[in-house]
Amino acid sequence: MIYLTQLRAQLERSFAPLACDCALTGDNSLTVKLYHPASGQVDLVVSGLSVANLRTPEAVVALIEELRYELESNSLHRSEKCKHKK
C-alpha cells in the first residue's frame, strides 16, 4: 500500500496546478479531492476508493487515469452548462 503523503504528492504532480487532499475513512476507504489552491474551488471529489487496491505502482497509475477521466468528464459537463446559459 502506498502512503497517503506519497499518493497526494503523486496526484499533485499528475494534476498540476491543482492541489490534492487524501483522507482515509474509518472503513479503510479513501477520499480524494482535487481543487485549485488559490481559490479553493473544488474540481473533483471521489470517495469510497479501496486502499487495498493501491498496493502497486500500476494500481496508482490506474487510479490517476480514472481520476483524469472523471475530471475531464466534469469539465466537459461544466463547459456545456456554461454554453447553455449564454
* 19-67 residue pLDDT tens: 999 998 888 899 999 999 999 999 999 999 998 888 889 999 999 999 9
Grid coordinates in use for 7?
499518493
pLDDT for residue 4: 83
pLDDT band at 78 (very low <50, low <70, confident <90, very high): low
Mean pLDDT within 78-82: 51
The Cβ of residue 76 has, within 10 Å, a number of other Cβ atoms equal to 10
Q: What per-residue confidence (pLDDT) applies to 55?
A: 85
- Share of the chain residues as helix, strand and coil, in percent rounded to the nearest 5: 50, 25, 25
84 band by pLDDT with thresholds 50, 70 and 90: very low
